[in-house]
Each structure stands twice: as structure tokens, then as C-alpha cells.
């Protein structure tokens, strides 16, 4: 490293190597033009984001998901009607990130650090299995690194640009928005402290820089949805999604992945704190690096599937904040060694687990796809039309028989629980529940939003329904209030092809819940189900312990399961969304398939099932994360008028 640093002091080699590093980083980090998303779960939420944009739905009020009103820019679809905006988003972020990188290389005092920053930021894209999702964070990181490195008056403008990018990220995806906002405040506050004492100009302009963030959020949300009052609803619903995600969507994976990630974080920051020669110089970069580490760990390890392989490269990019901040050569060497370890792991781990990863990375690093990528952007309209034609052909498989069309006519359609792509496949008008992917109603507030929509006058004329679920859940156990509203306000019109077509009814089917009594259960304890002459609702209150709250914040919550024993046909083992259960789920009857669900939507009285649940128990792999006692309220769901 010493020899390399000495070499960089030679002006000709200095300029040549820095120019090559930036050029190579620019080439290997070219954004992908567009990908096919097929049909099914992921294709449905992508389609929903684009339909919501086309119909000018307000995020947080009309539509609620982990992506915001600008999410369709990351995953565009032809139904959005906006071919140019996704192009501007991709090219705009790319140009900003490369421009920021060029200026960073120009102004940074250590050209060795500038060289490695450019190269590693490019590798941050090349080694990312889902680069389209992280493009916004790469651009934001490049600008944030520039703010740390630049001591000129341009720093104010660069900080304002960073605030704008944080606002864009907030409206694209909730977790990225929170991370971007946290990085902005950490970097901007560090810049203010470095510029002390502030002159009159600084005292006037820095408050304006901080004001760019909220103003940009409001203006961008208004430009996207046409509503200037929906930001508050978006923030509230976003908080609900963030607070419930770990509990509802946690998915365990190999222990070594989480252990390696935790050890990487602990070892890296311990080494920096204990070995660094000038820790004070590293402090401006320490806060944003810690922020990136926290979000990278949560994003990778809460839902430990393909997301888990993203940790090391995200963490390596975050360590660039320390590299840019370091003043001593020994500190730069220390940070660089730690960063290169994470970069190596970012290649080794996905190469073992993702079939196409190695080929994709080699194609990027060898610059084999530059021509086709540039051609796709240059002929963007042709690219857009070609991909849309393929998507339309794929969705053609989802067209339902003419009997459905004869009933729906010009009516509006909602799809439950999540297969939105069937709506455009059949040419219907979409009128969704706010949380249009029902598994994402992670909290009682979100479940209640959907229930109130289904019970209100803006609900769809028809609901296309099946009993699909994710992660081994039962739909009754994830959004119980919404399901009771659905049963209350819709009648069966048609059952065919694995779908129930429901028609909205003017009158309620059921009256208010009637209290039958209370009981208390403990974990892994059989609870007898009372025998009644009508529909029975069970409302258990499962609360987290202090340990559970801390675990949910720093890692992920243990999944909660409902094990039920039927009178004639054995057991079922279903995952639940524990906080939502307190609203009360229907336990008698408890349909396990579409034929068993169908009679619940018949206009006539529901016949007593031959097979029903006789005992139920609650199980968690780590019951210590929850309060040991589970209070249960039992209710009768009577027909309307009784």
C-alpha cells in the first residue's frame, strides 16, 4: 500500500489512474434498463405500484405498501403510462452518482483514498444481485461521501442535493428513505460542526439546506399523486409497516449467515475504535457507517432469504464513509483491509447460493454487456414496447372464463389476497383495498384500514378471492378484521377455476360481536374451543416481552404459530400475525381450502361443519420473546338482526 501511495504522488500516473478508476467504476455500474417480472406474487405488487400511479392514488391513504408513490420508478410496468419517468430516474441517478464521484476524486486530499472509493463504489453495483433496488442508495452514498470530503463553499449545494436524494428515497421505498434521511442528518450535522464558527452566510443557508428535505417530500408526493395532504398519511402508514415488518415477515435462515454478519460488524468497528491512530478524524464518517451497518443487517437478516446475501456488499459500501474521513495513511489502510474483506465475502457468498450470480458479475467486470445496455437505453421506446408486449403475453395466461366477465361487466374489482396481475389480464377496473397485498397489513391499524374500506361506500363492486397465503400462514390469522368485513359485505356470485367471485351486498350479513366469556392460555398449552350453535370468534392478545421488543428492533421476532386439532381430520399448523389476532379471527368454522370457504359467502345460513377445531395451542420457537400469559376473549358472530 505504501508503494502504491508513493506511485500516486507522480502527477502523470496520478491523473491516469484516477481517470481509469472513475471510468471503470462508471462502466461496471451502468444501470440495467428493465427486467421481466413474470406473473405471480412479486409481479402483482410491482403491477399494483404502477396501477396506483396511473390512477393517481395517494400513498398512505388510497394505497399502502413497503414502496411509496415513486416505487414504480424502480420497477416500471407499461400500465403506468409513464415510459419517460423511469428512464429519467435511472439515468438521472446514474449521472448524479458518477458526477459526485468525479468531484470527490478531484477534491479529496488523499488520491489513494479517492482511487479506492471510486473502484469500491463501482463494485458496490457490480456485486449487488439486485442493483436496480439499491441504485438510489448508491447515488445518495456517492453524494454523501462528497459532502464529507469537500471543504469548499460547494458543500452547501451538495448537502441540499443530498437532502433531495433522501426525499426521493423516502418516496420510493420506506426503509431506504429512513436510511437516507438518517445519513443526510449525520453527514450534514458533521459538515456544520466542521464549518464552525458559522458566518452570517452559513447561518442563513444551512437551515435552508435542512428545509430542502421536508419540502422535497411534500412537492414530490404532490407531483406524483396530485394530493398535497397525503404526506401525513404516508408517514403514519409507513411507521406501521416498519413497526410490524420484523414480527410479521421475519424468516429465519442459516445461522452462520447472521453470525457472520454480526461478527463482521462487531470486528470492524472494534478494530476502528481500538486501532485507529486518529479516531477524531474518523468521527464524521463513523455515524453514517454505523447507520448503513444497522440497515444492512436488518434488511438482510429479518427476512433471511435472498436478502441475506446483500449484507456484505451493502456493509462494504458503508465503510467508504470511514475511508473518505480518514486522514492518516495507517487508518486508510486499516479501513481498506476491512472493506476488502467484506467485498470478498460479497462475491463468495452469493456465488455459492445464486445460480447466475457468477456469470452476471463476470459480465459486468469484463464489460461484456455495455453495448446492449446502452442500446436499450438509446432505443428506450422500443425497449419499453418490447418488454410490455412480453408482459402482456404472460398475463394472457391469467384470463378467466367468460362467465366471470358476464357477471363483472363494467364493475370495479378488488383481488384478495394479493394476485393483482389478474385484473389487467382480464381488462377490469381495479379498486383495491388500501393494503392491496393483504399479507402486508402487519399491524391492527393496517388491518383496520382494509376492513373499513371493505365496509365503506368506496369498496369494489366485486372481489376476486382465493385462499392463498405466504410463509405457511392462514389468511384468517393475518388479517382477521378484514376477513370478517369481507364475509359481512360480500355474497358469492361464481366459483370456478380456483377463484370465488364475490359481489358487494348492500346490507350487513352479521351483527355486532356478542361476548361469550374469557379464558387464559400459555404457550404450547391446549385450549379447548367452546361449542356453540353459531359462528365463533377467538381473540387472543399476544404481547411482546422486553426481550422481544429489543430482539425485534435489533434483529427479528420469533414467528408465532397456531396449532389446531380438528374433530375428524387431524391437525393444522399455521403461522399468524400475532398483533392482529386480538381483533378476533373466525375459528368455527375454520376453512382450510376454497370449497370449505365457499359456503361462508352463501346468502343462506352457514351449515354446521362436520369437521371443526376442538383444541388450539399457540407456539413460538422463542416464547421468551412474548408475555407468558395469553388472555383470550370469545365471541359469537350472530346474523344481522339477532
* Pick from 573, 624, 556: nearest CA to 469: 573
The whole-number pLDDT of residue 8 equals 46
Confidence band for 3, pLDDT divided at 50, 70 and 90: very low
Q: State pLDDT tens for residues 86-133.
A: 999 999 999 999 999 999 999 998 888 999 999 999 999 999 998 888
Q: State pLDDT tens for residues 283-313.
A: 999 999 999 999 999 999 999 988 889 999 9
Cell numbers placing 181: 434521511
The whole-number pLDDT of residue 642 equals 66
* Pick from 578, 585, 415: nearest CA to 500: 415
Q: State pLDDT tens for residues 452-499.
A: 999 998 999 999 999 988 999 999 999 999 999 999 999 999 999 899
The Cα–Cα gap between 585 and 476 comes to 6
The count of C-alpha atoms lying within 13 angstroms of the C-alpha of 354, restricted to the half-sphere facing its C-beta, is 22
Q: Strands of 613-620's sheet, edge to edge?
A: 527-528, 613-620, 560-566, 571-576
Pairing of strands 560-566, 571-576: antiparallel
The fraction of the chain above a pLDDT of 70, given in percent, is: 97
Q: What is the mean predicted confidence (pLDDT) over 544-559?
A: 92
DSSP summary character for residue 428 = P
If one counts every other C-beta atom within 10 angstroms of the C-beta of residue 51, the result is 23
Angle between helices 200-225 and 231-249 (to 10 degrees): 80
Q: Please, are residues 148 and 191 in contact by the beta-carbon 8 Å criterion?
A: yes
Cell 453527514 belongs to residue? 187
- What structural domains and CATH numbers belong to the chain? 26-241+250-372 (no CATH), 396-504 (no CATH), 514-637 (2.60.120)
Q: State pLDDT tens for residues 37-55.
A: 788 888 899 999 999 999 9
Is the model's pLDDT at 331 over the cut of 70? yes
Q: State pLDDT tens for residues 51-81.
A: 999 998 999 999 999 999 999 999 998 888 8
What is the phi/psi pair of residue 257, to 5°? Answer: -65, -50
* Pick from 91, 109, 100: nearest CA to 22: 100
Confidence band for 32, pLDDT divided at 50, 70 and 90: confident
Burial 394-419 (b: 16+ CB within 10 A, else e): bbeeeebeeebeeebeeebbbbbbbb
Q: State pLDDT tens for residues 18-29.
A: 888 899 999 999
Amino acid at each position: 500500500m505504501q508503494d502504491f501511495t508513493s506511485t500516486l504522488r507522480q502527477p502523470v500516473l496520478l491523473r491516469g489512474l484516477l481517470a481509469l478508476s472513475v471510468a471503470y467504476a462508471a462502466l461496471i455500474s451502468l444501470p440495467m434498463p428493465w427486467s421481466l417480472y413474470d406473473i405471480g406474487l412479486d409481479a402483482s405488487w410491482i403491477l399494483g405500484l404502477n396501477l396506483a400511479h396511473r390512477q393517481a392514488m395517494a400513498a398512505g391513504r388510497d394505497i399502502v405498501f413497503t414502496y411509496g408513490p415513486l416505487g414504480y420508478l424502480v420497477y416500471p410496468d407499461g400500465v403506468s403510462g409513464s415510459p419517460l419517468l423511469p428512464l429519467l430516474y435511472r439515468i438521472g441517478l446514474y449521472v448524479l452518482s458518477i458526477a459526485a464521484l468525479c468531484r470527490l476524486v478531484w477534491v479529496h486530499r488523499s488520491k489513494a483514498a479517492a482511487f479506492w472509493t471510486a473502484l469500491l463504489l463501482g463494485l458496490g453495483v457490480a456485486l449487488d444481485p439486485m442493483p436496480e433496488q439499491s441504485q438510489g442508495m448508491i447515488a445518495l452514498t456517492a453524494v454523501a461521501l462528497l459532502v464529507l470530503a469537500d471543504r469548499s463553499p460547494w458543500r452547501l449545494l451538495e448537502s441540499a442535493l443530498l437532502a433531495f436524494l433522501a426525499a426521493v428515497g423516502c418516496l420510493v421505498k420506506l426503509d431506504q428513505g429512513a436510511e437516507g434521511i438518517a445519513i443526510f442528518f449525520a453527514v450534514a450535522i458533521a459538515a456544520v460542526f466542521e464549518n464552525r464558527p458559522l458566518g452570517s452566510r452559513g447561518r442563513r443557508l444551512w437551515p435552508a439546506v435542512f428545509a430542502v428535505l421536508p419540502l422535497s417530500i411534500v412537492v414530490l408526493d404532490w407531483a406524483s399523486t396530485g394530493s398535497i395532504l397525503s404526506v401525513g398519511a404516508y408517514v403514519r402508514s409507513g411507521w406501521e409497516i416498519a413497526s410490524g415488518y420484523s414480527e410479521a415477515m421475519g424468516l429465519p435462515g442459516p445461522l452462520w449467515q447472521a453470525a457472520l454478519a454480526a461478527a463482521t460488524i462487531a470486528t470492524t468497528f472494534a478494530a476502528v475504535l481500538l486501532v485507529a491512530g486518529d479516531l477524531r478524524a474518523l468521527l464524521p464518517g463513523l455515524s453514517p457507517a454505523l447507520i448503513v451497518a444497522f440497515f444492512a443487517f436488518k434488511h438482510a437478516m429479518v427476512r433471511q432469504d435472498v436478502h441475506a446475501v446483500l449484507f456484505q456488499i451493502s456493509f462494504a459500501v458503508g465503510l467508504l464513509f470511514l475511508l473518505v474521513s480518514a486522514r492518516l495513511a495507517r487508518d486508510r489502510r486499516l479501513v481498506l483491509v476491512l472493506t476488502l474483506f467484506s467485498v470478498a465475502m460479497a462475491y463468495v457468498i452469493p456465488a455459492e447460493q445464486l445460480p447466475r450470480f457468477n456469470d452476471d458479475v463476470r459480465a459486468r467486470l469484463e464489460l461484456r454487456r455495455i453495448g446492449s445496455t446502452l442500446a436499450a437505453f438509446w432505443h428506450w421506446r422500443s425497449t419499453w414496447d418490447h418488454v410490455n408486449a412480453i408482459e402482456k403475453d404472460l398475463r394472457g395466461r391469467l384470463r378467466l372464463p367468460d362467465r366471470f366477465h358476464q357477471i363483472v361487466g363494467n364493475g370495479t374489482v378488488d383481488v384478495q389476497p394479493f394476485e393483482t396481475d389478474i385484473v389487467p389480464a382480464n381488462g377490469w377496473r381495479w379498486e383495491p383495498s388500501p393494503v392491496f397485498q393483504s399479507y402486508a397489513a402487519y399491524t391492527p391499524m393496517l388491518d383496520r384500514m382494509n376492513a373499513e374500506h371493505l365496509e365503506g361506500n368506496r369498496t369494489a363492486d366485486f372481489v376476486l378471492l382465493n385462499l392463498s397465503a405466504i410463509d405457511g400462514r392462514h389468511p384468517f390469522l393475518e388479517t382477521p378484521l378484514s376477513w370478517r368485513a369481507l364475509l359481512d359485505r360480500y355474497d358469492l356470485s361464481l366459483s370456478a377455476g380456483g377463484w370465488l367471485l364475490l359481489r358487494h351486498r348492500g346490507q350487513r350479513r352479521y351483527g355486532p360481536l356478542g361476548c361469550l366469556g374469557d379464558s387464559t392460555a400459555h404457550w404450547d398449552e391446549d385450549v379447548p374451543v367452546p361449542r356453540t350453535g353459531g359462528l365463533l370468534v377467538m381473540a387472543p392478545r399476544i404481547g411482546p416481552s422486553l426481550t422481544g421488543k429489543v430482539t425485534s428492533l435489533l434483529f427479528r421476532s420469533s414467528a408465532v404459530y397456531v396449532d389446531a386439532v380438528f374433530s375428524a381430520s387431524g391437525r393444522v399448523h399455521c403461522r399468524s400475525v400475532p398483533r392482529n389476532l386480538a381483533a378476533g379471527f373466525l375459528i368455527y368454522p375454520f376453512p382450510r381450502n376454497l370449497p370449505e370457504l365457499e359456503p361462508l359467502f352463501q346468502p343462506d345460513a352457514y351449515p354446521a361443519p362436520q369437521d371443526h377445531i376442538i383444541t388450539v395451542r399457540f407456539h413460538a420457537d422463542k416464547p421468551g420473546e412474548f408475555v407468558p400469559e395469553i388472555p383470550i376473549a370469545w365471541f359469537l358472530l350472530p346474523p344481522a338482526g339477532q
